[in-house]
A and B are shown apart, each in its own frame.
Chain A
Amino acid sequence: MYGRGIYALRDVTVSIGKGEFVFLTGPSGSGKSTFLRLLLRQDVASEGVVHVAGRNLAALSLRQVQTYRRTLGFVFQDFKLIPTRTVLENVALVSRVLGDQSVQQQRRTYQVLKWVGLQHRMNAYPVELSGGEQQRIAIARALVNEPALVLADEPTGNLDPDLSLEIMNLFRDMNARGTTVLVATHDRELIGHVGRRTLTLDHGRLLSST
C-alpha cells in the first residue's frame, strides 16, 4: 500500500506451483512490477503475506534476504547489464557474489552462454551487442546459478516480435528443465503464442487466473 490509502495491490491471492510457467499481465500501472518487487523482496507488503518456498518474505532478516535472493534469477526490460564489464564478467558476477570461482562454476558460465548462443561474444561489452543479445546475456546471468525461480519483468519490452519469440523460447526451455518461471508482460500476442497460465491484474486487483 502506498501512502494515503492507495493500494498498489489489493486482494491478490495467488499460488504458483513449483516448476510452473506463469504470465503476469495487465496494463501499465496494474501492479505487475510491484508484484515482482514483492517477490524479489525489494518491497515488503504492508498487508498480507508473501510466501516463497515456505518462507515468509516479510520476516526475513537482511542476511536472510541476501541468501534468499541467491536462489532467484531475474531478467529486466532494461537488461541491467554492467556496461563496463564484458559479457563473461557480467554473467560470472553471480559466482563472484556467491564467492564461487571454481572451475565447475566457470564451466557452468560457459555452458549458459553457449545455451543462449553467445559463447563467441564472451569478451564483448554490452554496448557492442544488439538488444536481443543483451537480453540473452541477462537470461544467461539469471540462469548461471541454477535458480529455482526466475522472475522476468517485461523481458521483451525493448525487442521486436521475432526476438521476443526467441527470448520466450529460452524461458520455455529453462522451464522445461524444472525452473519455475514468472514473466510479467503486457504483450497479449506473446502470451497467446506461448500459451501458459496467465494472471491478469488491473488497478492492483487480480482480475483472472486462466
Chain B
Amino acid sequence: MHALQYCLNEASRSLWRQRGSSVLSMLTIAAAALVVGGFLLVTVNLDRVLARWSATAEVSIYLRDDITEGQRVDLNRVLVASDVFASRVFVSKADALARFKRDFPDLSSGLDETPDNPLPASLDVQLRPQGADSGAVEALVQQVERMPGIADVRFDRRWLARLASIILALQWTGWMLGGVLIVAAVLTVATVVRLALYARRDEIEIMQLMGAPLGLLRGPLVTEGMLHGGVGTLAALAALYGAYVAVKAQAGPVLAMVVEPEMLGFLPASTAGALLAGGMAVGCLGGWLAARHVR
C-alpha cells in the first residue's frame, strides 16, 4: 500500500514538475484516443442502426397485375412454410398509390396524369429477427422469384450487408490510424517519462545505494506513464462527448430523416471504460519503456 502510494505521489509530483512536456505527452495520447474513440462512436451508432434495420428487415414481393388466385394461394403456402416468415401485409395497387402520394407528394402529380395506376400490388413480408441473418432468407427470395405471377422481389438485407461491410472497413481504418497514433503516443510518453527519470536520477541513485527494490525505482515512472494515458484519454472522451452533442444538435434534423433520434447515442460505458483502460495501458507501456533504463 505504501509502495503504491509512494508511486502515485512521486508520479503526481513529477507530472506537476514537468507539466509542459507532460501536457504534450497527454495530447498525443488524447489524439490517439480521439481517433480511435471517434471511429468507435461512428461505428457503434452505425451498428445500432444496422441492428434495428436488420430486426425490421422485410422482403417486398411485387405481384404481376395478372396474378391468378391459385398463384396467390401457392405464394402464401410457400411463405407460411418458411422458417424465417413472421407476418405479411398485402398492399393493393390503390394502397401503393396512396402510399406513394403520401411519401412523395412532389412527384404524385405525374401519376395523376396517367390513366392507369402503374404501381404493382405487393406483399410486405416481415422476417423473424433470428432468421434474418441466415441463408434461409436468400433461399426463400430465390424460390419466390421463380414463381409465376411474381413481378419482382426486393430484399433490403442486401444493402444492409453492404452497410455492415462499410462499418467493418471503418473500424479497420480507425484501428489502423489509431494504431499509428498509439505508437507515436507510446514513444512520446517514453521520452517525457525519461526526462522525469533524468530529473530524479540523483534520488534514484541514492535509493539504489540504499538497496531499494527495482519495483520502487521503476514504479513511479510506470505510474507516471499511466497517469499521462489516463488524463489524456479522459480529455479525449470529454472532447468526443462535446463533439457528439454538437453534431447531434446541428445535424439532428437531417439525421432524423434517416434514423430515429433515440437510436443515436454516445459510447456505451463499457466501451468508454475500455478506451480509458487502453489509454492507461498505452501510458504504462511508455512509462515502462523509460523505466527499463533503471537497473
Interface size on A, residues (CB 8 A): 23
Whether a CB of chain A sits under 8 angstroms from the CB of B211 is yes
With a cutoff of 8 Å between Cβ atoms, the chain A residues found around residue B6 in the complex are 96
**Does B206 lie within 8 Å of A93, measured CB to CB?**
yes
Min CB–CB distance B209 → chain A (angstroms): 6
With a cutoff of 8 Å between Cβ atoms, the chain B residues found around residue A40 in the complex are 209
Whether a CB of chain A sits under 8 angstroms from the CB of B247 is no
Report B171-197 CB contacts with A as 1/0, cut-off 8 Å.
000000000000000000000000000
With a cutoff of 8 Å between Cβ atoms, the chain B residues found around residue A85 in the complex are 203
Give the distance in Å from the alpha carbon of A149 to the alpha carbon of B283 in the complex.
41
Whether a CB of chain A sits under 8 angstroms from the CB of B259 is no
- CB neighbors of B among A122-139 (8 A): none
Whether a CB of chain A sits under 8 angstroms from the CB of B263 is no
Min CB–CB distance A38 → chain B (angstroms): 14
Whether a CB of chain A sits under 8 angstroms from the CB of B107 is no
**Does B211 lie within 8 Å of A97, measured CB to CB?**
yes
Whether a CB of chain A sits under 8 angstroms from the CB of B214 is yes
**Does B203 lie within 8 Å of A82, measured CB to CB?**
yes
Contact A80 to B211, CB < 8 A, known contacts A96-B6, A99-B2: no
With a cutoff of 8 Å between Cβ atoms, the chain B residues found around residue A67 in the complex are 211
**Does A66 lie within 8 Å of B206, measured CB to CB?**
no
Contact A80 to B210, CB < 8 A, known contacts A96-B2, A99-B2: no
- CB neighbors of B among A14-67 (8 A): 40, 42, 62-63, 65-67
**Does A97 lie within 8 Å of B207, measured CB to CB?**
yes
With a cutoff of 8 Å between Cβ atoms, the chain B residues found around residue A99 in the complex are 2-3
Min CB–CB distance B56 → chain A (angstroms): 62
**Does B2 lie within 8 Å of A74, measured CB to CB?**
no
Q: Which residue of A lies closest to B17 (CB)?
A: A84
Q: Which residue of A lies closest to B199 (CB)?
A: A84
Whether a CB of chain A sits under 8 angstroms from the CB of B135 is no
With a cutoff of 8 Å between Cβ atoms, the chain A residues found around residue B210 in the complex are 69-70, 93-94, 97
**Does B2 lie within 8 Å of A65, measured CB to CB?**
no
Whether a CB of chain B sits under 8 angstroms from the CB of A101 is yes
With a cutoff of 8 Å between Cβ atoms, the chain A residues found around residue B211 in the complex are 65-70, 72, 97
Whether a CB of chain A sits under 8 angstroms from the CB of B67 is no
Q: Which residue of A lies closest to B213 (CB)?
A: A66
Give the distance in Å from the alpha carbon of A99 to the alpha carbon of B6 in the complex.
10
With a cutoff of 8 Å between Cβ atoms, the chain B residues found around residue A70 in the complex are 210-211
With a cutoff of 8 Å between Cβ atoms, the chain A residues found around residue B208 in the complex are 69
Q: Which residue of A lies closest to B210 (CB)?
A: A97
**Does A97 lie within 8 Å of B216, measured CB to CB?**
yes
Report A96-121 CB contacts with B as 1/0, cut-off 8 Å.
11010100000000000000000000
Give the distance in Å from the alpha carbon of A83 to the alpha carbon of B203 in the complex.
9
**Does A80 lie within 8 Å of B206, measured CB to CB?**
yes
Whether a CB of chain A sits under 8 angstroms from the CB of B212 is yes
User: Which of B203, B206, B208 gathers the greatest number of chain A CB atoms within 10 Å?
Assistant: B206
**Does B2 lie within 8 Å of A101, measured CB to CB?**
yes
With a cutoff of 8 Å between Cβ atoms, the chain B residues found around residue A83 in the complex are 202
With a cutoff of 8 Å between Cβ atoms, the chain B residues found around residue A96 in the complex are 2, 6, 216
Q: Which residue of B lies closest to A101 (CB)?
A: B2
The 18 listed contacts between A and B (C-beta, < 8 Å) are A62-B214, A66-B212, A67-B211, A68-B211, A70-B211, A72-B211, A74-B209, A80-B205, A82-B202, A84-B203, A93-B207, A94-B210, A96-B2, A96-B216, A97-B207, A97-B210, A97-B212, A99-B3
A-B pairs, top 6 by smallest CB distance, nearest first, are A69-B211, A70-B211, A97-B212, A66-B211, A82-B203, A97-B210
Not counting A62-B214, A82-B206, A93-B206, a sample of 15 additional A-B residue pairs whose C-beta atoms are within 8 angstroms of each other reads A40-B209, A63-B213, A70-B211, A74-B209, A80-B202, A80-B205, A80-B209, A82-B203, A84-B203, A93-B210, A94-B210, A96-B2, A96-B6, A97-B211, A99-B3
